Amino acid sequence: MAKESKHSGNHSAQREQHDHNFQIAASHRPGKGIFLLSMGALGVVYGDIGTSPLYALNLMFFGFTNIPLTAPTILGGISLVIWALTIVVALKYAIFVLRADNDGEGGVFALYGLLDKFNKGKRAALSWLLLVGAGLLFGDGVITPAISVLSAIEGIGVATPVSSHAIILITLIILTILFGFQYKGTGGLGRIFGPILVVWFVVLALLGLHQIRLHPDIFHAFNPAYGVQFLLHGNFYTSLLVLGALVLVLTGGEAMYADMGHFGANPIRFSWFLLVYPALILNYLGQGAFLLGGGQRVGGNLFYSMLPTEWLYPMVALATMATVIASQALISGAFSLASQSIALEVMPRLKVKHTHHDHVGQVYLPFINWALYLGCVLLVISFGSSVSLGAAYGLAESGVMVTTSTAMFFVARHYWKWSVPVSAALFGGFALIDASFLIANSIKFMEGGFVPILIGCVIFFIMVTWRWGRKATFAAYEANFTMPISEFVQHHRELPALIERTSILMVPVVSHTIKMRTPTLSQMLWKRTGVLARNIIYVQVQHLKVPFIHDSRYSVSVLERNERGSIIHVQMQFGFMEDPNVEIALQEMLEHKDINLPTNLRHWVVHVAVENLIADKSMSWLKRLRLEFFILLRTVSRPAYFHYGLGNKVALSAEIFPINIKGS
């Protein structure tokens, strides 16, 4: 009978040498004060929402809405902005959503992991909804750099009469430089992001205060009645357009939750309430005061029209730096989101380059980087201005907001133990507000709103196809070979001679007891060669829906061990925020005498399978197309053995064999 032992994988001193592969990120950083963490959060979390004043009100009052600029409409629009920031961002995200941490991590996949821990069957639809939300976030990741940088560079058109082609060209140059330097990582830039954003938010506040001092009547906008009257008494279609533009004020709010693992909830709240929230409110009030006083928009841009001519170029430079930082945060967030989705096995295994030795969350994915760049370039060229591009913005963001509010109801019920009425009243209310934004933005679908939805649908289809294909492949594996592991162990005992080597085999299913079936690859090698290695180690990797594994990193099951050799099964577990380097994990297990392996890595031989997927004759044409798409994704995906760090120092032996995928 097999013997099993479990190990935490946290063997302090020696293990710390490889800590960069299994680092545990806490929700706060010991040794750093809340001030430094809050400063870092400014540069990463608030770049997107902090640059919304460049274009949000411009689109609301001068975009597709055609609102007459009267005192009631101006006060009503600014009132909506104030209370949207207060209810959705300050209350929903900063106060409540930041409480829903998954081992210190936040974001769509953190919620996905939390909800996966209970009533899996009943929560399947919600899990799929969260995958849709992840796809929509990728759509936002394409639009944000394009609209942010473009809106900043448009300030040049206010100061100097230049053609739109020149503005587009400058925007494309900046985007090219931005994406071209992603491979270097953000560690060095991160140190200066915070201070630049501090200057940006202070300037936003001062600009607003200057206009408020000239036209203090704008303070009436704090009365929510103006916003309600504006929506109720205006044209219904116009009101929907206003709500569609209003969501641009909130873009980037989701980043507060997504980046929680990097800084912690309290530093994010601290920087929001101390600087970001008041600065945004003051600037939006200032833009409203400028309009209330009869200020004229110059060069088609409301924000830059508030500035004296001599301050335009410095402000364009500062705004450009702020938008580059906002874009950098979205790009880094897309890298992190893709890395997590790969770890959760819902996306192909793309090449992941770690750009920092001590922080596993800082990654670079070349495929994602250049896909985002291509998307940004196409959007800038196609739409040509921030106002036009604003029509494509907001639909994906509001969709993600609805997803988060829906998921938070179940978090409140099952983790915080709130009653149904309380959970429904709070998060149901938030969901209704988010849904109103989603409905309002849906009318912009043909004007550009289809762009993030199309991107999100493509990403979602990739996710579901990848999951389907992997399950179908594993099912075919199990049906292909049926030898009990006990029979295989008997062959190992009775062979007159064994090969003097240690064979390591990656296996997709558990074979840790003598009653299980022999792994397919092992059976295939036995039938082909009729010989076995003296020591055989089966390695199975499990990706859990938690960010980090704090203990029980691996377990060892001894299937056979005598003077002739051994057959053991090693099960490793990784969280979706960790780097699953199997090679290093095996070396650590060897150091701690948990397994029998030669100390010289050249004596290791890793056997891996390369499947030739073949459609069964009974398969329908629709499933054949899906299988062909899955095969295409496999060509983009890195082989599992490279993804798990095998082959860096250890010799690989690849075995190719056909796998028949059934039609059912």
Are 48 and 329 in contact by the 8 Å Cβ rule? The answer is yes
Given this model, what pLDDT does residue 554 score?
82
Pairing of strands 554-562, 3-7: antiparallel
Given this model, what pLDDT does residue 393 score?
74
Q: What angle is formed at CA 499 by the lines to CA 494 and CA 502, rounded to 5 degrees?
A: 110
The pLDDT tens digits of the residues spanning 486-496 come to: 888 888 888 88
Whole-number Å distance between alpha carbons of 52 and 589: 51
Given this model, what pLDDT does residue 75 score?
95
Element (H, E) at 238: helix 236-250
Pairing of strands 353-354, 363-364: antiparallel
Element (H, E) at 567: strand 565-574
Whole-number Å distance between alpha carbons of 350 and 333: 16
Given this model, what pLDDT does residue 31 score?
39
Are 548 and 25 in contact by the 8 Å Cβ rule? The answer is yes
Domain 36-443: assigned CATH number: 1.20.1740.10
Pairing of strands 604-615, 651-661: parallel
The pLDDT tens digits of the residues spanning 4-17 come to: 444 444 433 333 33
Given this model, what pLDDT does residue 280 score?
97
Are 308 and 123 in contact by the 8 Å Cβ rule? The answer is no
Given this model, what pLDDT does residue 90 score?
95
Q: Give the start-to-end residue ranges of the domains of the chain.
A: 36-443, 481-661
Total number of residues shown for the chain: 664
The pLDDT tens digits of the residues spanning 149-166 come to: 888 888 777 767 666 788
Given this model, what pLDDT does residue 279 score?
97
Given this model, what pLDDT does residue 28 score?
38
Whole-number Å distance between alpha carbons of 535 and 568: 8
Name residues whose C-beta falls within 8 Å of residue 415's C-beta, 6 or more positions apart in sequence. 100, 114
Q: Which residues of the chain have pLDDT under 50?
A: 1-32, 357-359
Given this model, what pLDDT does residue 471 score?
85
Q: Where are the beta strands (DSSP E) in 425-551?
A: 499-506, 533-543
